[in-house]
Amino acid sequence: MWLKAESLQPIGSFKLRGAYNKIASFTEQERQRGVISYSSGNHAQGVAYAARALGVKAIIVMPRNAPKIKMDSTAALGAEIVTVGPASAKRLQKAEELARQYGYMIVPPYNDEQIIAGQGTVGLEILEDCPDVDLVLAPVGGGGLISGVSAALKLSGSRAKVIGVEPELANDAQQSFRKGEIVELSAERVSSTLADGLRTQSIGRLNFEHMREFVDDVISVTEDEIRTAMRRIILNGRIVAEPSGAVTFAAWLFHGHELPDSRKAVAVVSGGNVEPQLLAQVLMEEGC
C-alpha cells in the first residue's frame, strides 16, 4: 500500500489543483470580475490560494459549521467569507445569488470539466510514480477527485481498478452507483459524519457520468474505522490525515474483502486539515 499524500499540498489538500485550473481558464476580463465559490473548507482554501496567486478577488460561501481551522485559513489567504446553514443547497443558492448580483465568476467545487481535469493530475502523478499500480482508492464527496483520477488512469491505458470510498453516514455516491441514478441524502444525515470534507448531499451530474464510465465500485466505512485509520496513518506513516483523507486507508484496513485483489495499491490521502482538538482526541483513543 502506497499513500498519495495530498495533505502536503500548500493548502493541505488536493483542492488547489482544480481551483487553480478553473480560475486560470478564465479570460483576463472574467478574472477582473472576481470569483465566488461554495465549500465546507478545502475547496475554499484552494480557490482562495489560486485567486491570490492570480491576483483575483475571491468570495467563498461556507457553512457555519465548517471547521474553524479551514475557515481561518481561507480568510488568511485573503478571501471574503459569507456563511450560511449546513445544507449543500444553501451554499450553492447563496453563491449563485451573489454571482448574479455582482457579476462574479463561479468556481464550482466538483461538477465542472476544468475542476475535474485539475483533480485528474493526481491520477497522472500516481502513474508516473507507480506505472504498474493495480488498485487506486479515492475519497468521494461531490465526485470531482474520483472523476479526475479515474478518467486520468483509464484514459492513459491503466488497468488499475478504481474504488471510491466514503463514510457510511454520507454514502450518497455508493447508493447512486449501485442504483444507477443520483441519490440525495438529507443535510442532517451527512452533517453527522466526522469527515467534513465528504458531507456533500449528492454527487454532481457530470461527476456521476464519469464514475459510471471509469469507476469500478464505491464502498463505505464507519466513523470508528475512520478514526482508527487516522491514528494509524499518523503513527505509522508520519502523515497527518483529516477524516476525509483517512477514509481510503480505512477501507484498506477494514474492508479488504470488498476490494479487488492487488499487488500494488495506492490510497489517496486527500487532505490533512484537521482541527487540533479532534486530532488530539483521536490520538488519545485506545488502540492503533
pLDDT at 288: 52
Domain ranges of the chain: 2-10+112-284, 15-106
Q: Looking at residues 249-271, what average pLDDT do you find? A: 97
pLDDT for residue 86: 83
The beta strands (E) that lie in 109-169 are given as 135-139, 161-167
Count the neighbouring beta carbons within 10 Å of the beta carbon of residue 263: 8
The reply to whether 15-106 shares the fold of 2-10+112-284 is yes
Tell which residue, 253, 161, 257, 251, has the closest CA to residue 198.
Answer: 251
Shortest CA distance to 166 belongs to which of 133, 194, 124? 194
User: What are the start-end ranges of the H helices in 26-61?
Assistant: 28-32, 42-54
pLDDT over 80 at 286, yes or no: no
Q: Which pLDDT belongs to residue 111?
A: 94
The CATH number that domain 2-10+112-284 falls under is 3.40.50.1100
What local confidence, expressed as pLDDT, does residue 287 receive? 59
pLDDT band at 70 (very low <50, low <70, confident <90, very high): confident
Task: Locate 70 and state its grid cell.
Answer: 479551514
Average pLDDT in the chain: 95
Among all residues, which ones are annotated catalytic?
15, 270
Q: Does residue 219 register a pLDDT over 60?
A: yes
CATH topology for the 15-106 domain:
Rossmann fold (3.40.50)
Residue range 98-125: mean pLDDT, rounded: 97
> Is 266 in contact with 136 (CB distance < 8 Å)?
yes
Q: Which residue has the higher pLDDT, 164 or 90?
A: 164
